[in-house]
Amino acid sequence: MKLETIAIHAGTIIEDKNRPAVQPITLSTTFEHVEGSPIYSRANNPNRLALEQVLARLEHGEAAAAFSSGNAAGMAVFQSLEPGSHIVAPDDMYHGLRSLLVNVFKGILEVTFVDMTNVQNVEDAITSKTNLIWVETPSNPLLQVSDIRRICEIANDKKIKVACDNTFATPVYQNPLLLGADIVMHSTTKYLGGHSDILGGALITKSKEGIWEKIKMVQQVGGAVPSPFDCYMLTRSIKTLPYRMKGHAEHAAILATFLQQHPKVDKVYYPGLISHPNHLTAAAQMSGFGGMLSFEVSGTADDADRVISHLEYFTNATSLGGVESLIERRAAVEGSDTKTPQNLLRVSVGLEHLDDLLEDLDQALDK
CA 178 to CA 267: how far, in whole Å? 32
Catalytic residue chosen out of the listed positions 48, 57, 98, 190: 190
- CA 315, 318, 322, 325 dihedral sign is positive
Alpha helix segments (H runs only) across the chain: 3-9, 46-58, 70-79, 95-99, 119-125, 148-157, 170-173, 211-222, 228-238, 241-260, 279-285, 301-309, 330-334, 354-366
CA 87 to CA 80: how far, in whole Å? 12
- Asked about 57 being catalytic, the answer comes back as no
- Asked about 305 being catalytic, the answer comes back as no
In contact, 188 and 70? CB cutoff 8 Å: yes
CA 356 to CA 122: how far, in whole Å? 42
- Phi and psi torsions of 205, nearest 5°: -120, 150
CA 330 to CA 199: how far, in whole Å? 20
- Asked about 159 being catalytic, the answer comes back as no
* Residue 22 to residues 16, 18, 193, Cα–Cα distance (Å): 10, 11, 17
Which strands, in side-by-side order, build the sheet including 315-316? 265-269, 292-297, 344-348, 326-329, 315-316
Catalytic residue chosen out of the listed positions 48, 94, 244, 270: 94
Strand-pair partners of 90: 114
In contact, 325 and 353? CB cutoff 8 Å: no
Count CB atoms within 10 A of the CB of residue 164.
29
- Asked about 94 being catalytic, the answer comes back as yes
CA 8 to CA 204: how far, in whole Å? 18
Catalytic residue chosen out of the listed positions 165, 206, 230, 329: 165
Question: Active-site residue numbers?
Answer: 42, 94, 165, 190
